[in-house]
């Protein structure tokens, strides 16, 4: 029985039912073989306990002393009863070892518990405390309640600590009344009013919408500004409910790095996508084959390919929890494109979008476009002075309005402005675009190079074709300011590109003589039916041995001292002069001056463009002749009575057989004919 009592005593020590000091003293009295070094008197217990709390306040020391006194009195009672439990035959060394180990455990536990009790000021009840026992009176531990739902997830003040049967209790209060006592081991106490963290049972995201000192790294330090996290989307892992009712959310970033605790008053709850942040700007897509999304579950909407390098409106953006910015993008008709990752677009020059380098050469094909100094469309000039000339477009902008705008420079590096790309065309490098002419010309210089291309690889010189008739089929207005013809021989062989200064273009008759088709038509139309020309009698060149052209240029509507009379050439000369033409280039050529048809033929062949036909039917079939053009019918020289004939085509279209001319019967409008056989017809267009 004694041995059984010993083991029961040891069990009581380990379970904390009997203080080990009491058992130790009882063992000391019963078994003298236990070493005096292991005996624990009440005084030694007090000394040991006092040493454990060295440095605490005097009030705390008083609490310790009263607790130890109570323990001592219990120890004395236990000493009397425990002496009967020890078997004298029990091995003294075994008992001594057990007692010493138990003593050490007690002192460690006592010190930790005491420190926690001294620091405890607040306790937080969470959902896991739904079965927590709350005692209204420690005198009856069988009477307790559990927390009501509204008591949970709140922080309470510790207003009192108590110890009953070596169990520590907190008395907790909501500030208005006490809830009751709770076991210290069932709760976590803190020294700060925010209490302990309350875990979240589902994912939540928040955005700081105010810049305020409301960010805590811990509750022992002063709060910092929320500037560093302003409008960022962060995830909540838990929260603290302050005793005063303030809620602090614990936030982490996408890498689960803790940001800190933030006063909920400066936060807005959202989804992982974050909050919409209005910030109108214009963005240009710069990536191909990237996804555009319908929502922040990242449902696919489209690829960026069809929007590549074009500019759209980003009305706002979202700062997603994943750390990326997403624009919400619209076209210029207000149609929503979708949510677009920031790295697929770039912001640029307002609605103009981003600058895109091109370094191309453009030739203006319209004279009616404005050029701007900015994309508020402040006008600088028009393209009128630049028309058909070549300039450098160093880059361009794909504007939100759907148009492309070049940024244009001249060959001296002067910036000319922004211009709609529709005003110009890109051509053959610095040469610009090919511009059709279809003229004939004469090479008037021996000293110009001909080129293979606009890298100016030399092909030959104009010496080989000097003074020859050539075809000028088109030209290039080069960026260097010069015009280059693309030149062919009369038989159609390409000569090369040559500076226009080496060539004299054969213009239309009107341009060669300083008038215009419209002036010729206006004059003749006005006098078509009034007898000014029609009906004038014929007077042949050389009549009376006279070669003075004026004798043969007198219509009956305006006769001079010679009286009315015209030959065929005199009618053409009179009509042209009365339309504003300068006849000097022909008059000075020789006999009969402007009244000699062969002089017109030679002068016009050399200085104006022309076409030849073998018959009147071939001419009419071509449809090339226009009203007012000059027709010259070459005589079949060598035949008896051969002569040439000249007049003005008067058909309303190129196929109508009408001819205004002077014949032996007088001036008339008729079908095309010559009084003598002809070998070919020359068509000399007015333009």
CATH at residue 245: 2.30.30
Strands 659-663 and 666-670: antiparallel
- Co-location of 624 and 516 in the same domain: yes
- Co-location of 652 and 557 in the same domain: yes
The span from the CA of 661 to the CA of 597, in Å, is 13
Residue 236 lies in a domain: yes
The span from the CA of 674 to the CA of 669, in Å, is 13
Q: Which of 121, 186, 189 is nearest to 158 (CA)?
A: 121
- Co-location of 302 and 244 in the same domain: no
Could you state, in chain order, the average pLDDT of each consecutive group of 10 residues for the chain (687 residues)? 43 42 39 33 31 33 36 38 36 45 46 53 95 94 94 96 94 95 95 95 95 96 96 97 97 97 97 96 97 97 97 97 97 97 94 94 97 96 97 96 97 97 94 91 94 96 93 95 95 96 91 95 97 95 79 91 92 97 92 93 90 96 97 92 94 97 96 93 95
Query: Residue 196: its pLDDT value, please?
Result: 95
Q: Which of 93, 92, 87, 102 is nearest to 21 (CA)?
A: 102
- Co-location of 488 and 514 in the same domain: no
- Co-location of 595 and 529 in the same domain: yes
Structural domain boundaries, residue 281: 276-347
Residue 363 lies in a domain: no
Work out the number of other CB atoms within 10 angstroms of the CB of residue 148: 10
Residue 417 lies in a domain: no
Residue 593 lies in a domain: yes
- Co-location of 451 and 591 in the same domain: no
Q: What is the DSSP string of 642-674?
A: ---EEEEE--SSTT---EEEEETTEEEEESS--
Q: What is the value of pTM for the model shown?
A: 0.62
Contact 387, 367 (CB under 8 A): yes
The domain boundary residue, chosen from 138, 170, 190: 190
Could you give the C-alpha distances from 307 to 283, 402, 469, in angstroms and in order?
A: 11, 11, 53
Residue 357 lies in a domain: no
- Co-location of 222 and 302 in the same domain: no
Domain count, the chain: 5
Q: What are the start-end ranges of the H helices in 471-579?
A: 509-513, 517-526, 568-578
- Co-location of 263 and 299 in the same domain: no
- Co-location of 603 and 526 in the same domain: yes
Q: Which is it for the CA torsion 239, 243, 245, 248, positive or negative?
A: negative
Residue 81 lies in a domain: no
The span from the CA of 163 to the CA of 188, in Å, is 17
Residue 641 lies in a domain: yes
- Co-location of 261 and 296 in the same domain: no
- Co-location of 144 and 119 in the same domain: yes
The span from the CA of 83 to the CA of 25, in Å, is 9
CATH at residue 458: 2.30.30.170
Q: Exposure of 156 by Cβ count < 10 A (0-12 exposed, 13-18 middle, 19+ buried)?
A: buried
Q: Exposure of 530 by Cβ count < 10 A (0-12 exposed, 13-18 middle, 19+ buried)?
A: exposed
Within 13 Å and on the Cβ side, how many CA atoms surround 450?
20
Residue 603 lies in a domain: yes
- Co-location of 593 and 481 in the same domain: no
Query: Residue 603: its pLDDT value, please?
Result: 93
Contact 362, 406 (CB under 8 A): yes
Contact 34, 25 (CB under 8 A): no
The domain boundary residue, chosen from 306, 322, 347: 347
CATH at residue 563: 3.90.1720
Q: Which is it for the CA torsion 471, 477, 478, 480, positive or negative?
A: positive
The domain boundary residue, chosen from 481, 505, 529: 505
């Amino acid at each position: 029985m004694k041995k059984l009592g010993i083991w029961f005593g040891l069990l009581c020590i380990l379970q904390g039912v009997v203080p080990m000091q009491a058992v130790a003293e009882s063992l000391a009295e019963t078994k003298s073989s236990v070493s005096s070094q292991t005996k624990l008197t009440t005084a030694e217990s007090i000394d040991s306990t006092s040493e454990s709390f060295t440095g605490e306040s005097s009030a705390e020391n008083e609490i310790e002393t009263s607790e130890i006194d109570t323990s001592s009195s219990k120890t004395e009672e236990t000493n009397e009863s425990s002496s009967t439990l020890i078997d004298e035959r029990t091995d003294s060394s075994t008992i001594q070892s057990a007692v010493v180990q138990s003593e050490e455990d007690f002192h460690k536990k006592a010190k930790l518990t005491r420190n926690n009790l001294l620091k405890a000021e607040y306790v937080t009840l969470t959902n896991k405390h739904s079965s927590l026992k709350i005692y209204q009176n420690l005198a009856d531990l069988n009477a307790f309640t559990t927390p009501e739902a509204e008591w949970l997830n709140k922080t309470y003040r510790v207003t009192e600590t108590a110890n009953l049967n070596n169990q520590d209790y907190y008395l907790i209060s909501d500030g208005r009344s006490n809830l009751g006592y709770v076991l210290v081991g069932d709760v976590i106490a803190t020294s700060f009013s925010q209490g302990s963290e309350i875990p979240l049972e589902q994912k939540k995201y928040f955005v700081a919408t105010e810049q305020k000192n409301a960010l805590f790294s811990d509750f022992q330090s002063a709060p910092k500004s929320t500037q560093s996290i302003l409008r960022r989307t962060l995830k909540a892992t838990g929260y603290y409910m302050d005793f005063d009712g303030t809620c602090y959310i614990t936030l982490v970033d996408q890498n689960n790095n803790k940001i800190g605790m933030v006063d909920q008053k400066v936060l807005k709850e959202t989804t992982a996508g974050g909050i919409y942040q209005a910030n109108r700007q214009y963005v240009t897509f710069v990536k191909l084959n990237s996804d555009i999304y319908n929502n922040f579950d990242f449902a696919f909407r489209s690829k960026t390919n069809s929007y590549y390098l074009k500019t759209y409106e980003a009305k706002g953006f979202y700062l997603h929890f994943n750390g990326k910015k997403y624009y919400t993008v619209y076209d210029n008709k207000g149609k929503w494109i979708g949510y677009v990752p920031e790295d697929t677009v770039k912001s640029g020059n307002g609605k103009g979008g981003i600058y895109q380098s091109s370094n191309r050469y453009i030739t203006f094909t319209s004279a009616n476009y404005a050029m701007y100094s900015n994309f508020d469309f402040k006008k600088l000039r028009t393209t009128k002075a630049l028309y058909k000339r070549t300039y450098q477009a160093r880059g361009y902008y794909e504007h939100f309005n759907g148009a492309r705008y070049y940024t244009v420079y001249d060959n001296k590096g002067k910036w000319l402005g922004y211009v709609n790309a529709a005003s110009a065309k890109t051509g053959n490098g610095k040469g610009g675009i090919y511009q059709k002419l279809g003229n004939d010309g004469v090479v008037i210089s021996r000293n110009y190079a001909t080129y293979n291309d606009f890298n100016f690889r030399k092909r030959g010189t104009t010496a080989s074709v000097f003074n020859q008739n050539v075809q000028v089929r088109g030209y290039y207005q080069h960026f260097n300011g010069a015009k280059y013809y693309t030149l062919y021989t009369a038989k159609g062989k390409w000569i090369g590109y040559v500076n226009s200064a080496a060539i004299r273009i054969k213009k239309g008759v009107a341009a060669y003589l300083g008038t215009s088709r419209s002036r010729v038509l206006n004059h003749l139309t006005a006098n078509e039916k009034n007898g000014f020309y029609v009906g004038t009698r014929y007077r042949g060149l050389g009549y009376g041995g006279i070669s003075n052209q004026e004798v043969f240029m007198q219509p009956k509507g305006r006769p001079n001292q010679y009286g009315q009379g015209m030959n065929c050439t005199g009618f053409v000369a009179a009509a042209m002069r009365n339309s504003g033409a300068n006849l000097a280039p022909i008059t000075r050529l020789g006999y009969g001056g402007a009244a000699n048809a062969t002089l017109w033929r030679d002068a016009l062949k050399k200085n104006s463009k022309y076409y030849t036909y073998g018959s009147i039917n071939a001419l009419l079939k071509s449809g090339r002749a226009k009203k007012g053009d000059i027709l010259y019918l070459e005589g079949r020289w060598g035949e008896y009575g051969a002569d040439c004939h000249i007049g003005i085509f008067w058909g309303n279209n190129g196929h109508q057989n009408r001819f205004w001319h002077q014949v032996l019967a007088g001036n008339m409008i008729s079908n095309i004919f010559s009084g003598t056989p002809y070998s070919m017809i020359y068509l000399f267009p007015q333009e």
